[in-house]
Structure 1
Amino acid sequence: MEFTVHGPDDGDPLCFVMGWGNAPDQPVVDWLLETLADAGFRTHAATIPTNVDDFEAEYLAPLADYVADGPDFERALSHSTGGLIAAHAIRRGVLPEHTVHLSPWWGLHPSQRIPFRLLRRLPTSRELVSVDPDRDVLGSLADESARDSTGLAPSFVREIRRAQTSLPEATDAETAFCTLTDGLVGTDAIGERLPAERIRLYDGGHECFASEDREAIVADVVESLRADDPTDR
């Protein structure tokens, strides 16, 4: 796990656990980080490994080490797989309860269920299935040329499913943004973990920051990060 820091030196510290395959140099991610900087945040962005053999050792432990040596984070942001990591990190006291999740991967999308069930049975950590970026799924503004094709390993699938099936109960300060047409995460799992008043729906792709209405959506994200009450809109 690698960390980069973005925004003004005197900005409010924000820990951002990014999604699977995301990196700060991707145009849409860079736009999000710049928008957060303009909103007064100094964002500590975590780029996560795309394949792991141990969820705790390779995701939770590096995050905990960084947070322990970093600033006092009073709020956090997550995206996709980062939302799964963040949910467990919050329960362990690594991240603050005041966390906004963007399209958290708390459950499988229907299209993933059979392939993942088959893939997880294979006793290997080799990357076997290639995953290519898809603008129609990510968002209309996604730059596919900025993303590399990445492989899925059975060991990663096993760890993700283990983390999803052992999700801790949500705190009262967590909120989530999602689109009901998300093609990468199971939105039913979001509805099962959070009450309706703490779920913000938007029109667009899996990455709200790559969606047509991203300025309005991210303005709402910033408002949620700033709000004292997570149910405030």
Structure 2
Amino acid sequence: MNVTVHGPVDGDPLWFVMGWGNTPAQPAVGWLLDTLADAGFRTRAVEIPTNVSRFEREYLDPLAAVVDEEPAADRVLSHSTGGLIAAHAIDAGVLPERAVHLSPWWGLHPSQRIPFRVLGALPTSRELTSVEPDRETLGERAEPSERDPVGLSPSFVREVRRAQSSLPAAGDGEVAFCTLTDGLVGVDAVGERLSADRIRLYDGGHECFASTGREAIVADAVAVLRDGPEALE
């Protein structure tokens, strides 16, 4: 796992477990990191592998190792696949319970259920299906960035489905931000894991930080990171 540090040296420590394929070099992610820096956070952004064959060995264990090497933090931000990883890491005591999950991938989108079942049945860890979501799916302000092509492997699909099926109960400090029109994650899983008063809905794409109105959305996320779920009331 690659970890980069952003924000003032004396800022409040914050872990950010990014989504599948996200990097700080992407304009929308960079905007989010700059906004967090302006809010006074010293953010450690975790870039996750896009192809794994074992969720615990290649996601949870490396995350625990990097967290153990860094200064303690009492809040975490996550996005998409990072939200799935963070949920398990919080339950394991690796990450703090005060967490804001942006469009967490806690369940499959309806369009993924049959293809993932078929793909996951193949006995290989090779990336077989390329993935490049469009601006309509991600958000109106999403911009392309230079990066190596990424794809889905059967082993990754199997591990995501397994992690989703064993998702732990949410802690008292966890909240989620999501859009009901998300084309990449199953928002029904968000409603199953969290009560309505711990969910902040927004209009836009899968990446709230690449959506119109992102300033207000992220301001609310910052408030929750600062003050806990009560900030949504």
* Same topology, TM > 0.5: yes
What is the TM-score of this pair, normalised by structure 2? 0.98
Is 1:99 the counterpart of 2:99? The answer is: yes
Is 1:60 the counterpart of 2:60? The answer is: yes
CA distance in 1, matches of 2:167, 2:26: 29
1:1-233 paired onto structure 2 within 5 Å: 1-146=1-146, 148-227=148-227, 229-233=228-232
Offset of residue 40 of structure 1: 0.1
CA distance in 2, matches of 1:72, 1:49: 23
CA RMSD in angstroms, aligned pairs only: 0.9
CA distance in 2, matches of 1:165, 1:61: 19
What is the TM-score of this pair, normalised by structure 1? 0.98
> 1:66-121 CA distances to partner (integer Å, 9 max, x unpaired)?
11111111000000000000000000000000010000000000000000000000
Structure 2 residues not aligned, in runs of 5+:
none
- 8 Å CA contact 2:182, 2:205 repeated in 1: yes
The one-letter amino acid paired with 1:45 is: A
The one-letter amino acid paired with 1:186 is: G
Aligned pairs, number: 232
Offset of residue 147 of structure 1: 5.2
CA distance in 2, matches of 1:77, 1:19: 11
SS at match of 1:4: strand
CA distance in 2, matches of 1:44, 1:202: 25
Offset of residue 150 of structure 1: 1.5
- 8 Å CA contact 2:26, 2:144 repeated in 1: no
- 8 Å CA contact 2:109, 2:186 repeated in 1: yes
SS at match of 2:230: coil
- 8 Å CA contact 1:133, 1:149 repeated in 2: no
Structure 1 residues not aligned, in runs of 5+:
none
Offset of residue 145 of structure 1: 4.3
CA distance in 2, matches of 1:200, 1:59: 27
SS at match of 2:106: coil
Structure 1 moving runs of 4+ over 4 Å: 145-148
